[in-house]
Amino acid sequence: MAATGVSPVTAWVREGTRQRLTHALEEQKTRKLVLSAADRWQTYGLSRNEAARVRAAWQAEVVRMRQAGELLDVIDALAVYGITQELEDRGWAQRRFRRAPAEARLPGRWPGSRDGGYKESVQLRLPSKAAAKVLDACWGTSAPYITRLRDWRDRNPGVVVPRGPLGDSDELTGPLAEYERLATHVTTVGDIYRAGLRRGIQTAEELASHYAK
């Protein structure tokens, strides 16, 4: 995966996420219009050179606000902000990980993955550097447990494992209890994308609520 440019990714999410996301983005777009109406961004009566400087300053301010999580009016800005917050809370943002190997990019779900069962998808265009960071961090923290889960599969070829959210391993016995304990340590890129979208949507909603008062 390239370190520069943009990487298209698909986030599989819980039902209702897309509707909530659309509403949050619409509120943020309305807020952007309100902000752009401030006197400092008006160009009426200015010379062409002055007007160009004002428009450039406004665009720079929009970029700054998006990066700071103060304006989340486009889906990619919302997702990147939320994903960055998720990585920071996990202590992964500043941590350096080795580049994920080719096996991390193979088709299909990782052992221990709970990415199945989601009915909605959200298409994102992330900076390739951010997408690579997510993959490297997820693989770097999950690989030891993926290896153990593959060993578990070899020992338990006929046991059916759940695809949905993790259950309570304390209520399980035998091989499935071991599987669940190992699976709790596997974090997929889908987990991070879902968490990032939840955070981004929540932040957008909180901004809308704050400025509506």
pLDDT for 167 beyond 70: no
HSE value, Cβ hemisphere, 13 Å, CA-based, for 97 = 22
For residue 198, give both structure tokens.
Answer: 């939840």
Candidate from 9-18, 79-88, 112-121, 157-166 with smallest mean pLDDT: 157-166
Looking at residue 55, its pLDDT comes to 97
C-alpha span between 56 and 79 (Å, rounded): 25
pLDDT for 3 beyond 60: no
Q: Is 152 exposed, middle or buried (0-12, 13-18, 19+ CB in 10 A)?
A: buried
pLDDT for 2 beyond 60: no
Closest alpha carbon to 41 in 64, 27, 59, 67: 59
Q: Is 40 exposed, middle or buried (0-12, 13-18, 19+ CB in 10 A)?
A: exposed
Looking at residue 174, its pLDDT comes to 79
Average pLDDT of every residue of the chain: 91
Closest alpha carbon to 204 in 56, 75, 50: 75
In 10 A of CB 125, how many CB atoms?
16
In 10 A of CB 130, how many CB atoms?
20
Per-residue pLDDT tens digits for 20-68: 999 999 999 999 999 999 999 999 999 999 999 999 999 999 999 999 9
Find where tokens 């923290």 sit: 141
172-187 average pLDDT score: 87
What interhelical angle do 17-36 and 189-212 show, nearest 10?
Answer: 50
Per-residue pLDDT tens digits for 62-121: 999 999 999 999 999 999 999 999 999 999 999 999 999 999 999 889 999 988 889 899
Looking at residue 115, its pLDDT comes to 84
In 10 A of CB 101, how many CB atoms?
10
Instruction: Determine the Cα angle at 159 with ends 156 and 162, to 5°.
Output: 125
pLDDT for 135 beyond 50: yes
Alpha-helical segments (H) within the chain: 17-36, 48-68, 75-89, 128-155, 175-183, 189-212
Q: How many residues does the chain have?
A: 213
Looking at residue 168, its pLDDT comes to 47
